[in-house]
Amino acid sequence: SVEKEAPGGGADGDDSLYPIAVLIDELRNEDVQLRLNSIKKLSTIALALGVERTRTELLPFLTDTIYDEDEVLLALAEQLGNFTMLVGGPEYVHCLLPPLESLATVEETVVRDKAVESLRKISQEHSPVDLEVHFEPLVKRLASGDWFTSRTSACGLFSVCYPRVSSTVKAEIRQHFRTLCSDDTPMVRRAAASKLGEFAKVLELDYVKSDIISLFTALASDEQDSVRLLAVEACVSIATLLPQEDLETLVMPTLRQAAEDKSWRVRYMVADKFSELQKAVGPEITKNDLVPAFQNLLKDCEAEVRAAAANKVKEFCENLPEDSRETIIMTHILPCVKELVSDTNQHVKSALASVIMGLSTILGKDNTVEHLLPLFLAQLKDECPEVRLNIISNLDCVNEVIGIRQLSQSLLPAIVELAEDAKWRVRLAIIEYMPLLAGQLGVEFFDEKLNTLCMAWLIDHVYAIREAATCNLMKLVEKFGAEWAQNTIVPKVLGMANDPNYLHRMTTLFCINSLSEACGQEITTKQMLPVVLKMSNDQVANVRFNVAKSLQKIGPVLDSSALQTEVKPVLEKLATDTDMDVKYFAQENSCLLDLGYPEETTQDHIANSFHNIFIDVQEQLVMYRELTEPVCI
Amino acid sequence: MSAISATEKVDGFTRKSMRKAQKQKKSQGSSQFRTQALTELSPLPQLKDAPSTEQQELFSQKLQQCCMLFDFMDSVTDLKSKEIKRATLNELVDYVSTNRGVLVETAYPEISNMICTNIFRTLPPSDNPDFDPEEDEPTLEASWPHIQLVYEFLLRFLENPDFQPSIAKRYIDQKFVLQLLELFDSEDPRERDFLKTVLHRIYGKFLGLRAFIRKQINNIFLRFIYETDHFNGVAELLEILGSIINGFALPLKAEHKQFLMKVLVPMHTAKGLALFHAQLAYCVVQFLEKDPILTEPVIRGLLKFWPKTCSQKEVMYLGEIEEILDVIEPTQFKKIQEPLFKQISRCVANPHFQVAERALYFWNNEYILSLIEENIDKVLPIMFGSLYRISKEHWNPTIVALVYNVLKTLMEMNSTLFDELTASYKSDRQRCVPCPSLILTCIQNLTGVQLWQNWI
């Protein structure tokens, strides 16, 4: 057996098997990490053992080691899913079932789920005969297991074997699934409910109508809301499968009941799946049933539900049948939306703000100006920054329909307020929309109103904001062109090089790094380079080594004469700096710019640093030894 | 937004203490899906003033009146009706606790209806999804002024000397219990406290529901351990179970043993163990006192789930191990001593001094000492290496002092073996190059660089 052979090398004295013997030995090691490593190399072991010994020795051994750390079991469950070729191909794939069966019964959910995933995978590699002889009996055993874990696992296996077995076996499978749907532990019912849709898809339509519908109805009125809400998910698949004329009698009563469930979790699920449900039931039912249901969800007493529904407003309206879309929106949906704009809960308002702008394309110019614009403006003045941000981030939708001028009067105060928000994440978010806004509003408006903001961010006290501001400038230059940059922002950026605060001086360098390419050679050589070079005399070392870094960044934009006559001397000077880091970056960048300056390579530098620390350690060791000479007790 | 002060603007972060302060006073409405319209209540005459022939009828009217639910999130509406209901509930509590003969059969369905309507509700979504029960203040139930009185009434009803389980079981059935159990997830500790007492009474009075209650608790726990990792009432349910286990008949049924091994032991892995560990350990020890044979599998289970990175939990595990050792039978001790002391020896050598200290405290326990002494030939070789090394290396002087005492105790138990181990330990040390592993580990931790091993 495998066990006897380890670790002295192959029983036949074959030295090449020695590493394998070590791996096998490690499968039984006391250290979890070693067992885990070995399990992860299981395919190597199997390959070396050959298909026959893998089947007869390795797999039984693995089946026996099932009582182990969950981490090891998880790795094992995953490995076995890819083992078909290693046991000799599809003909022998059923050998993998015993270890996976035990893994599918353990308590830890991740392990069990992985085992089921692997079983589903290898089920496809079984021949129809093997499926009935080996796989299906396993599913049955799991489905009738004593402990809930095996029954839970079984739920995920029905749909993969159902399509490929004989009709008698099919009948048995349906029966097992029925039993599990009314299992007395909620864990199993949850598992069954979550697989109901998937199972329905592989069933013949008649059985969907007879079996699945009754299970669906039962699960949708389960005593536990955690089960009921899963039935809502299944509802989408089931409704897709049924012909239109059956939907009303078979699905709708349950769906209506779910939309008014006493548990907010179920109603939340309905709201969350609303677009899918809408597509699945078709336009007629949507008009008659889903519109009022949606109105109710938008007015739900629980904010969670309203937020989920608010998120779906645009999608729902988009998918309404064209002939009645506008009427439905104007008479049924818009009144609810108006109320949500002044909802008490900020998540609801912010969910709405993220989609409301999308309505303008659906409703057209006149309706937008008359009905939506007041809502946008109200949300732009909302007390919660997230709401305002969401509106601003979707400006492009409105721009297409009515042009942004209509909004700009209200837009500006909103942007300014966000730009000065006390929370830096809010400021960061608005910076990220600047390029988009600049594109929408045009260069004049931008210069007049927003330019000052963009420059102010460069001296923000939070680094992330300064960094984003730098990146923002680059995007603006890409949009408005080099000439604009030369006139408006470059002078201001370069002016900061004389700032008393070294952080601001560094910001100049960071801006140059990101602007040089967009500005082009001329501006870079004539305006930026002199400033950078001058900063190499800065008294703060951080500035100096950032000069070295900047020179590398802008190097590719410069021509070779500037590199040789201006950059090289400065780098040479920095390479003799008193500060170790400045020296290091100057040398490194000389190499990278290919200026022929490899006095000490980067690797040497690293090795040297290591060397220094190494000496430190040795000194410590000596001290340590002196301190810890054995003392007798 | 406007409340943000100048100091806050400096670093842009809201201070945690401030966010907390804002949160503390929050309360939450019950997630009742209201369909009925509210009608104003009008006060009924006092029960005690009514002639005895009309009392029953008036009692029933008052019960119905109390079925009206109010929105407590809105503190200005329906003030008058809210007050009437509160006074009526108070009167009802008084009525069922002081009067005999009021629980006639026809009253049961009405009482049950009033209770169900008021307390059974879907709990609202948690206001704070990252609610940390150890840190954050719980959100309180807004309608507590009414709900509290309903719970009070339910308890008095169950405790009334005329209460007849045979009639009540038609109303206090499996469905009732199930809904009651779901409420244990309430964030409001006051509510969970009432629920605990109520469930306890029901378990005591309704024999037919006992197995069902245990099974449902079982399901809640399994879901908590393997699915959601969140349930507010674990400690309360465990407390009830503690007294249930106490009453188990011997020999223990397979069902109960399974509960111990497959639910209570894995429950030690939960993230919020600190919140219910005392109750959990009590349950485990109750089981072991009933049936000592279970000691070995339980200790092996704890060793399997032993925390690897959470020192706080390790201290709790050690506490529980000591509680178990307090009641262990010597024969069971022999079965488990080897793996157990390997773990204890790792704990003693733990750089976190609270873990090391907790493990070393075992040597202050007379009974544990006697067990160790009896098995010194097995225990000492396992413990010796760690103890000897720690006596020289541990950074914390208290630990070093404790270790010296422990070594002294162990030496007195078997000095010959102790000398042998000392000698072989020293020769081992001299044979290999002294490996200053402590410094290396420190450097590794500081730099995160594994390379050092190759350098030295």
For residue range A193-208, list pLDDT tens digits in order. 999 999 999 999 999 8
Amino acid at A319: N
Q: Count other C-beta atoms under 10 Å from residue A179's C-beta.
A: 15
Please give the Cα distance from B346 to B359 (Å, whole number). 9
pLDDT digit string, tens, across residues A371-419: 888 888 888 888 888 888 888 788 777 777 777 676 777 777 778 888 8
Please give the Cα distance from B453 to B440 (Å, whole number). 8
| Nearest-CB residue to B407 (from A302, A383, A633) | A633
Q: Out of A52-56, A319-323, A609-613, B244-248, which region has the weakest mean confidence (pLDDT)? A: A609-613
Query: What share of chain B in percent tops pLDDT 90?
Result: 50
pLDDT digit string, tens, across residues B228-273: 888 999 999 999 999 999 989 989 999 999 999 999 999 999 988 9
pLDDT class of B38 with cuts at 50, 70, 90: low
**In the structure encoding, which two tokens stand for residue B98, read together?**
């002081």
Residue, of A344 and B74, whose pLDDT is higher:
A344
Most confident of the following: A118-122, A371-375, A629-633: A118-122
Q: Count other C-beta atoms under 10 Å from residue B192's C-beta.
A: 20
| Nearest-CB residue to A186 (from B122, B219, B438) | B219
pLDDT class of A592 with cuts at 50, 70, 90: low
pLDDT over 60 at A595, yes or no:
no
Q: Is B221 in contact with B260 (CB distance < 8 Å)?
A: no
Burial class (CB within 10 angstroms; exposed 0-12, middle 13-18, buried 19+) of A255: buried
Q: What are phi and psi of B35, to 5 degrees?
A: -120, -35
Q: Is A547 in contact with A536 (CB distance < 8 Å)?
A: yes
The mean per-residue pLDDT over the stretch B97-117 comes to: 88
What is the pLDDT at residue A274? 92
Count CA atoms within 13 Å of residue B108 on its CB side.
17
- CB contact A628 to B (< 8 Å): yes
Closest CA to A40 of A4, A77, A10, A9: A77
Residue of chain B whose Cα is closest to the Cα of A627: B392
- CB contact A248 to B (< 8 Å): no
Please give the Cα distance from A156 to A145 (Å, whole number). 15
Q: Is A439 in contact with A479 (CB distance < 8 Å)?
A: yes
**In the structure encoding, which two tokens stand for residue A296, read together?**
């109710």
Neighboring chain A residues of B395 at a CB cutoff of 8 Å? none
Long-range CB pairs of A498-502 (<8 Å, 24+ gap) are: A499/A459, A501/A459, A502/A538, A502/A540, A502/A542, A502/A543
What is the pLDDT at residue A593? 63
What is the pLDDT at residue A10? 40
Q: Which residue has the tokens 């309704």?
A: B206
pLDDT over 50 at B30, yes or no:
yes
Determine which helix (DSSP H) or strand (DSSP E) holds A456, and give its type and residue range.
helix A451-457
pLDDT class of B432 with cuts at 50, 70, 90: low
Q: Is A415 in contact with A437 (CB distance < 8 Å)?
A: yes
| Residue of B226, B342, B435 to mutate, testing the A interface (most A Cβ within 10 Å of its Cβ) | B226
Residue of chain B whose Cα is closest to the Cα of A383: B1
- CB contact A463 to B (< 8 Å): no
Q: What is the β-pairing status of strands B140-141 and B27-28?
A: parallel
The mean per-residue pLDDT over the stretch B335-356 comes to: 93
What is the pLDDT at residue B3? 41
pLDDT over 60 at A618, yes or no:
no
pLDDT over 50 at A20, yes or no:
yes
pLDDT over 80 at A265, yes or no:
yes
Neighboring chain B residues of A344 at a CB cutoff of 8 Å? none
Q: Out of A602-606, B58-62, B137-141, B378-382, which region has the weakest mean confidence (pLDDT)? A: A602-606
pLDDT digit string, tens, across residues A149-181: 999 999 999 999 999 999 999 999 999 999 999
| Average pLDDT over all residues of chain A | 84
Q: Count other C-beta atoms under 10 Å from residue B128's C-beta.
A: 13
What is the pLDDT at residue A501? 87
The mean per-residue pLDDT over the stretch B41-46 comes to: 78
Neighboring chain A residues of B426 at a CB cutoff of 8 Å? 630
How close is the nearest chain B Cα to the Cα of A391, in Å?
18
What is the pLDDT at residue A567? 85
| Nearest-CB residue to A109 (from B34, B226, B404) | B226
For B264-310, where are the alpha helices, taking DSSP H only?
Answer: 277-290, 295-304
Handedness of CA A187, A190, A194, A197 (dihedral sign): positive
What is the pLDDT at residue B26? 56
Q: How many contacts (CB atoms, under 8 Å) link A and B?
A: 88
pLDDT over 60 at B437, yes or no:
no
| Nearest-CB residue to A187 (from B34, B223, B438) | B223
Please give the Cα distance from A119 to A93 (Å, whole number). 11
Q: B31 and A385: CB-CB below 8 Å?
A: no
What does the angle CA B404 – CA B408 – CA B411 come to, to the nearest 5 degrees? Answer: 135
| Nearest-CB residue to A262 (from B33, B422, B438) | B33
The mean per-residue pLDDT over the stretch A102-115 comes to: 92
Q: A147 and B34: CB-CB below 8 Å?
A: no
What is the pLDDT at residue A414? 79
The mean per-residue pLDDT over the stretch A331-343 comes to: 90
Neighboring chain B residues of A108 at a CB cutoff of 8 Å? 226
The pTM assigned to this predicted structure is 0.77
Q: Is A153 in contact with A142 (CB distance < 8 Å)?
A: yes
pLDDT class of A110 with cuts at 50, 70, 90: very high
The mean per-residue pLDDT over the stretch A275-294 comes to: 90
**In the structure encoding, which two tokens stand for residue A300, read together?**
């739900």
Neighboring chain B residues of A271 at a CB cutoff of 8 Å? none
| Residue of B32, B439, B454 to mutate, testing the A interface (most A Cβ within 10 Å of its Cβ) | B439
Please give the Cα distance from B421 to A446 (Å, whole number). 82
What is the pLDDT at residue B129? 67
Residue of chain A whose Cα is closest to the Cα of B390: A628
Q: CA of A575: how far to CAs of A533, A601, B243, in Å?
A: 14, 12, 77
Q: CA of A133: how far to CAs of A86, A410, A416, B318, in Å?
A: 21, 72, 72, 50
Residue of chain A whose Cα is closest to the Cα of B217: A185
Q: What are phi and psi of B389, to 5 degrees?
A: -65, -45
Q: B33 and A260: CB-CB below 8 Å?
A: yes
Burial class (CB within 10 angstroms; exposed 0-12, middle 13-18, buried 19+) of B304: middle
| Average pLDDT over all residues of chain B | 83
Q: Out of A558-572, B150-164, B261-275, which region has the weakest mean confidence (pLDDT)? A: A558-572
Residues of B with CB under 8 A from a CB of A: 1, 4, 8-14, 31-34, 122, 124-125, 175, 178, 215, 219, 222-223, 225-227, 262, 266, 304, 391-393, 404, 407, 422, 426, 429, 434, 436, 438-439, 443, 451-452, 455-456
Q: B178 and A223: CB-CB below 8 Å?
A: yes
Neighboring chain A residues of B219 at a CB cutoff of 8 Å? 185-187
Residue of chain B whose Cα is closest to the Cα of A109: B226
Closest CA to A173 of A147, A209, A211: A211
This model of the complex carries an ipTM of 0.77
pLDDT digit string, tens, across residues A503-535: 889 899 999 988 888 888 888 888 888 899 889
How close is the nearest chain B Cα to the Cα of A151, in Å?
14
Coil/strand/helix, residue A500:
coil
What is the pLDDT at residue B12? 38
Residue, of B172 and B134, whose pLDDT is higher:
B172
What is the pLDDT at residue B31? 56
